[in-house]
Structure 1
Amino acid sequence: MPKVMIIECMQEISSFNPLPSHYENFHIERGEEIYAQRGLNTAIGGALQVFETQPDLSVVPVIAARAGSAGPLSGQGWQRLSEEILEAVENRLSGVDAIYFSLHGAMGAQTELDPEGHLLAEIRRMAGPNVPIVISLDLHGILTDKMLRQVDGLAIYHTYPHVDFADTGERAARLLVRLLEGKSRPVVARVVIPALVRGDELITRTGCYGDLIRECQRLERDGTALAAGIMIGNPFTDVPELCSQVLVMTDGDQETAKREAERIAHEFWPQRFRMQGKLIPLDRAIAQARTIEGPVVFTDAADATSSGATGDSHIILKALRDAGYSKRVLVQIVDPDAAAAAHKAGVGATVNVSLGGFYDKQRFEPMRVRAEVKLLSDGNSRLETMKIGLAAGPTAVLAFDNFTVVVFSRSISLFDRAMYYSNGLDPEDFDLIVVKSPHTEYHMYDGWVEKNFNVDAPGATSANLKSLGHTVCARPMYPLDEGVAFTAAARIYER
């Protein structure tokens, strides 16, 4: 009976976040603990649905390490994490016939700029040349040359905001089963595009990027390709191979893979202008929000914890207070000291605390507030879509004037409403809601608010990409440089 090994290592980082992440940031499932992902909307959850319906196949669950987006992983943290993963693989590798590896693709460590490539190269060395390895990736990942030289197949997210986690795992698993049966000889064409993109046109339901992704899906569905996708990288992960890229994988047909990858890349390149963040000055957004009767969202994509920011920006909160905005405002912020002070004081107490600038002190100077402690919690919740856990640490709801602020002790992903709901708050009860994510699923906010303002603010994940200060990625790169030229030229990978 063929044995399939399951591994996972997922984290997305911002190189511009001054706070490094550590081994302790990772939630690690070892061995059969991985089965906790059964039925969840995760890549492993989807893969298990395929593998466990194959009567002549057995699963070897090894290790799954997942961390929220943050700053670069510390050197010590990377050493401990990588050694643990590779040791776990080596201990269970005997008799394994195939490997499924769930990755994000936008990791980065202080001592290793291509963590996924390192792990894949070491696993390939241990497994030998004949064991098929298939990976799944976030479309915000950076698929490197080193990674591609180790793998036999891949599957890439097709949605943003992401909802197809399990679907991507299923596609990867079906491909791996096909390889085990000897039915395919994958060949991958890769076209690197020197462009970093951001903004509303990346929403796959409505944007021009989604139109191109649907071409990739068509190639998969009509059998032209075994897999196809457009990876746009994470523009905040400043590593040597940061880029956008088109991947087309066919069954032994180099010419088709090359032709289709180059065609889609040629279609992508003229759209790069549209795929940039459309930001509104904060003072203008506030002035317009005053005159709008219905609720509005202020998107603080520059402090998006799901993209690797610290979450401790108070820029919007302070600007609203200074401008005398009088309607009901709901905000989230990371500030361990403020949360601790609230827990010490207790519900109903009044506290004098500083908010903001706890980690990113160069960008944000703390603001003093006198607030009532309305609610205290342990900061635990579950993401709306994926249903995986969130752990923000001791959390407090503070209220002052017309502002309600949810204060966390730790940075967590804030791309849905989970942490508002879990702390007794419904965004629909407020006039202005701050969302620290570049985008959310349509029904969460955009489906019912009058206007979503994508405000121009400083932060480690600002859509104003020129403001960040890239020093490592290949240059020239649009929009960091002027006059960037591009001709689509596919490189072929075949093992």
Structure 2
Amino acid sequence: MPKILIAECKQEVSTFNPHLSGYEDFTLRHGQTILDYHRQVRSEVGGALNVLDATPGVELVPTCSAHFITSGGTLADAAFERIAEEILSSIKSAPPVDGIYFSLHGAMATQSLADPEGWLLEQTRKIVGETVPIVISLDLHGILTELMLEQSDAAVAFHTYPHVDFFSTGERSARLLLRIVAGAVKPVTALVRVPALVRGDELITASGSIRHAVEAAVAFEQSADGLSAAMMWGNPFTDVPALASNSFVVTDNDPALAEREALRIAGLFWEHHEKMQVPLTSLADAAQQTIENTSGTIVLVDAADATSSGASGDSNAILRALLDAGYAGTALIPIVDAAAVEAAFRAGIGQEISTTVGGALDPARFKPLPITGRVRMLSDGWFHSETTRELWQAGNTAVIQAGGITLIVTSRAVSLYDRALFYAHGCDPQHFGAVVVKSPQCERHMFKDWAARYIDVDAPGSTSANLRSLGHTRCARPMFPLDPEVPFQPQARLFQRHP
């Protein structure tokens, strides 16, 4: 009867966001509550449980889950120390196990650690020993480090962007772990680093040029010779030494095949990488195009303030541009400002307030903007993701209407890669002349399939697609597009714990 330990530690950060993440930005679950929660949602852990629950004889050993409420700035050292202590203490107190599934993101960074996830795996190894198999799952925006591969037996990563395979990634991870535990396979991994940071529509895996590399990885993983494979392009906003794009391939004790396929996938990526930058429209031009629109909804994409990528969420740049341009239509705009929410709660529903919005967390980029508006709704900010049905926590939230502008003001940043925040607060994006979407990509049906225009705005922010504007100092150089004429000399490095 195999015992399988379940652990999770996930956060994606932007090191360009000056507002540090803290312990309060995570939801911590322990023991049975991990199973109870993830059996109801379409997460990676939920997918793994779907496989493990259906496998006769498997005994689950849930330990600790630390899941970010949203992405954010660099994680404070004290917060990570507290989180790591809870995770590692729960693993220490667990009975001996036959395998471990560890759900990670891959783009976490603390004030002192550039690879906290690799460090966690290293500490886990010290507890459970060298022979217990560990399979990790990762977001394709994760930064796959050598330490992660040295301390785990195999990695499994998302294949889709926008992400629609959270659940199936967990399923794939659990199936592979069970094969390793049974002694049916001996994984060997080949890793190829690619010196490129990429953004834009060409990364949509269903239609963009990234599909050539991704489809090759999927096809190999699903072949008789493949255990796992992926093309990961990292989070360009997590400026750490290992930041890069990566291909990896896992085979059953066939290092030559793993190396050959990882190099092939990396080559397909590099062949198209120069197209993987998004054309941006200036704030002034975006505002003018919104004014000139006569039918349908303009979606103004503020990927520079993408909270799911680690931004602060308190950008008022597009709001300011619309007001300065004299926009007289309707607009729906999310923004983080705890003080404005407090003012709305003090005033009450239906009351008029004068306050400022924005610029509270990233004041070097955004200045507080005065508004006068009426409070239309107040909530505790708890709602379910449209994508996975996970519980999201925006803190106390106020809907404030200022003329034709409807602001959904949250106390803390929350992921905005679907419409859940809008719907939870009585706002249908299709009923507005303009909608600010603080995410670089959402599933097509959420906005693109019905919007009249989709404008990628060159706004300031800690997750700007204008990567040269951010000021990377820690990642390896030269790096596309930060430097001219970046060479690519592909090399594969092999990792295998038990040949």
TM-score (norm: length of structure 2): 0.98
Q: Secondary structure at the match of 2:375?
A: strand
SS in 2 for 1:111: coil
Letter in 2 for 1:16: F
Deviates more, 1:34-43 or 1:457-466: 34-43
2:224 aligned partner = 223
Instruction: Say if 2:96 and 2:128, in contact at 8 Å, map to a contact too.
Output: no
Matching residue of 1:13: 13
Partner of 1:486: 488
2:213 and 2:266 in contact (8 A); partners too? no
- The residue number in structure 2 matching 1:403 is 405
Q: Give every structure 1 segment of 4 or more consecutive aligned residues whose post-TM-superposition deviation is greater than 3 Å.
A: none
Tell me the CA shift for residue 191 of structure 1: 0.3
The superposition leaves residues 1-54 of structure 1 with CA deviations (integer Å, 9 ceiling, x where unpaired) of 110000000000000011101111110110000111114210110000111111
Q: Percent identity?
A: 49
- Secondary structure at 2:151 match in 1: coil
Letter in 2 for 1:34: I
- How do residues 49-60 of structure 1 correspond to structure 2 at under 5 angstroms? 49-60=50-61
Partner of 1:162: 163
Tell me what 1:304 maps to. 306
Matches within 5 A, 1:366-381: 366-381=368-383
| Runs of 5+ unmatched residues, structure 1 | none
Question: Which residue matches 1:22?
Answer: 22
5 Å-filtered alignment, 1:69-88, equals 69-88=71-90
The Cα offsets for residues 137-163 of structure 1, whole Å up to 9 and x where unpaired, read as 000001101111011111100111111
Letter of the aligned partner of 1:291 in structure 2? E
Tell me what 1:245 maps to. 246
In 2, Cα distance between equivalents of 1:118 and 1:149: 11
- Report what 1:211 is aligned to: 212
Are 2:283 and 2:458, in contact at CA under 8 Å, matched by a contact in 1? yes
Letter in 2 for 1:422: A
Q: Which secondary structure does the structure 2 equivalent of 1:149 belong to?
A: helix
Q: CA RMSD in A?
A: 0.9
- The secondary structure found in structure 2 opposite 1:348 is coil
- Counterpart contact for 1:39–1:46, Cα < 8 Å: no
* CA drift at 1:59: 0.7
Is contact 1:23–1:78 with CA below 8 Å preserved after alignment? yes
Q: Deviations over 1:422-481 (max 9, x none)?
A: 111111110100001111111100111011100001000000001111111111111111
The residue identity in structure 1 corresponding to 2:457 is V
8 Å contact from structure 2 (residues 136, 152) kept in 1: yes
Counterpart in the other structure of 2:107: 106
Match of 2:391 among 389, 392, 395: 389
Query: 3-state DSSP class of the match of 1:375?
Result: strand
Counterpart Cα distance in 2 of 1:492 and 1:346: 61
Q: Which moved more, 1:209-218 or 1:359-368?
A: 209-218
Q: C-alpha distance in 2, partners of 1:289/1:361?
A: 26
Amino acid aligned to 1:202: L
Instruction: Please report how far the alpha carbon of residue 253 of structure 1 lies from its aligned counterpart in structure 2 after TM superposition.
Output: 1.0
Q: Give the whole-Å Cα distance in 1 for the aligned partners of 2:213 and 2:225.
A: 16
Aligned counterparts of 2:59 and 2:180: Cα–Cα separation in 1: 15
Gaps of 5+ in 2: none
Counterparts of 2:340 and 2:66, CA distance in 1: 30
5 Å-filtered alignment, 1:331-346, equals 331-346=333-348
What corresponds to 2:458 in structure 1? 456
Q: CA deviation at 1:403?
A: 0.7
Deviations 1:152-202 (A, max 9, x none): 111100111111011000000000010111110111010000111111111
Give the residue type in structure 1 aligned to 2:18.
Answer: P
Q: Per-residue deviation at 1:211?
A: 2.9
2:202 is equivalent to residue 192 of structure 1:
no
Contact 2:149 2:155 in 1 (8 A): no
Deviations 1:309-363 (A, max 9, x none): 0000000001001101121111010001111001100111111100110111000
Distance in 2 (CA, whole Å) between partners of 1:58 and 1:50 is 12
Q: How far does residue 302 in structure 1 lie from its aligned partner after superposition?
A: 0.2
Deviation at 1:219, TM superposition (A): 0.6
Instruction: Give yes or no for the alignment of 1:233 onto 2:234.
Output: yes
Using the alignment, how far apart are the partners of 1:70 and 1:223 within structure 2?
40
1:311 partner SS: coil
Alignment partners' CA distance in 2, 1:449 and 1:205? 19
Structure 1 position 262 matched with structure 2 position 289: no
CA distance in 1, matches of 2:90, 2:201: 41
Matching residue of 2:4 = 4
Q: Who is 1:148 aligned against? A: 149
Whole-angstrom distance in 1 between the partners of 2:212 and 2:314: 35
CA drift at 1:281: 1.3
Distance 1:266 1:212 in 2: 8
Mapped to 2, the partners of 1:408 and 1:291 lie a distance apart of 30
Question: How much has 1:391 moved relative to structure 2?
Answer: 1.1
* SS of aligned partner of 1:208: coil
Matches for 1:265-304 after TM superposition, within 5 Å: 265-292=266-293, 293-304=295-306
Partner of 1:316: 318
Question: What is the deviation of 1:376?
Answer: 1.0
1:132 aligns with 2:153: no
Residues 199-222 of structure 1, C-alpha deviation per residue, up to 9 Å, x if partnerless? 111111211112321111111122
Tell me which residue corresponds to 2:42.
Answer: 41
In 2, Cα distance between equivalents of 1:39 and 1:348: 36
How far apart are the structure 2 equivalents of 1:191 and 1:12? 22
**CA apart distance, 1:84:** 1.3
Higher mean C-alpha deviation, range 266-275 or range 134-143? 266-275
Partner of residue 472, structure 1:
474
Distance in 2 between the 1:370 and 1:419 partners? Answer: 22
